[in-house]
Amino acid sequence: MAESGYRSGFVAVVGRPNVGKSTLINAVMGKKVTIVTSRPQTTRHRILAVRTAEHTQIIFVDTPGLHRNAGKAMNRMMNRTAASALADADLVLFVIEAGRWTEEDDDVLKRVRTAGVPAIALLNKIDEVHPKDRLLKAIDELSQRHSFVEIIPISARKHDNLDVVLGSIPNHLPESPPLFPAETQTDRGPEFFAAEIIREKLTVQMRQELPYGLTVQIERYEQEQRGIAVNAVIWVERDSQKGIVVGKGGRMLKKIGKEARLELAEALQQPVHLELWVKVKDNWADNEKDLMSLGYESP
């Protein structure tokens, strides 16, 4: 149990792709700090979300989903980013889908064991488990896979049992003064958030047509008298992908721009003028030099 005194530390949120890590972090933060879609590879960067309370500061580390088949340089870089977050963590939240265990879950658990960091298992999406006695079986099976300090069933989407998670985390953090100022909520700036919102809208709108070799780079972000001016480039790998993103008569690009602009204006509480361009950079997702020039990290 935790002793008296302020506690602060890093909590790595890990799991296979698309298991609900970003949804969980947004839910415990009470605001959107990381984008969420139904597609794997949505989270590509390490993002810190800082939750400060009277006696604790929890620094959640949102990580890319760990990929079993990391063919491209981008996937290998995301795997290194997630592994680095594990190595630096004081506590791990291992997120899995309740009632479903995959080979990718097994891969992530092996990394958790290797890291040797205390881990809480979160059985997510319990609202989708029927009948409920399947949940008891899933908890029992999970307890036999690893010596978790706790196993907590949750629904990140419906906020079920998140108060239990937030109550448990401080017990496993070191005594330490706050590591960030109390007003800090993320380590990422507004330019990063703008790029991610645009990428989220691309992912949601294009569904199966979305090329994975796609990223967004902010070229201009300035406060003007009438609001924020944002110029962004959507990078794709081939000319054929550029046509898909632009759409017939430019309609797809206009729709994406409108949705991104409206969400950014709401988040920033001021008007946003957004201009988008689509450009081609051959095979950028498999070139580490290109990746780093586009803002990807290589731990």
At 1 the pLDDT is 38
At 2 the pLDDT is 40
Angle at which helices 239-246 and 251-268 cross, to 10°: 70
At 60 the pLDDT is 96
Q: What is the largest CA-CA distance in the chain?
A: 63
At 286 the pLDDT is 86
At 3 the pLDDT is 44
**Which segments of the chain belong to CATH 3.40.50.300?**
7-172
Please, which residues have CB within 8 angstroms of residue 126's CB and are 6 or more apart in sequence?
Answer: 98, 135, 153, 154, 155, 160, 161
At 17 the pLDDT is 82
At 144 the pLDDT is 95
At 18 the pLDDT is 84
Per-run averaged pLDDT (10 residues), the chain, 299 residues = 75 90 94 78 80 96 70 78 83 94 92 93 93 88 95 96 97 96 93 93 77 84 96 92 92 96 96 96 84 76
Class of residue 264 by CB neighbours under 10 A (exposed 0-12, middle 13-18, buried 19+): buried
- For the domain spanning 190-293, the CATH number is 3.30.300.20
**Which segments of the chain belong to CATH 3.30.300.20?**
190-293
Q: How many angstroms separate the CA atoms of 179 and 52, rounded?
A: 10
Domain 7-172 CATH class label: alpha beta
Q: What pTM, to 2 d.p., does this model score?
A: 0.87
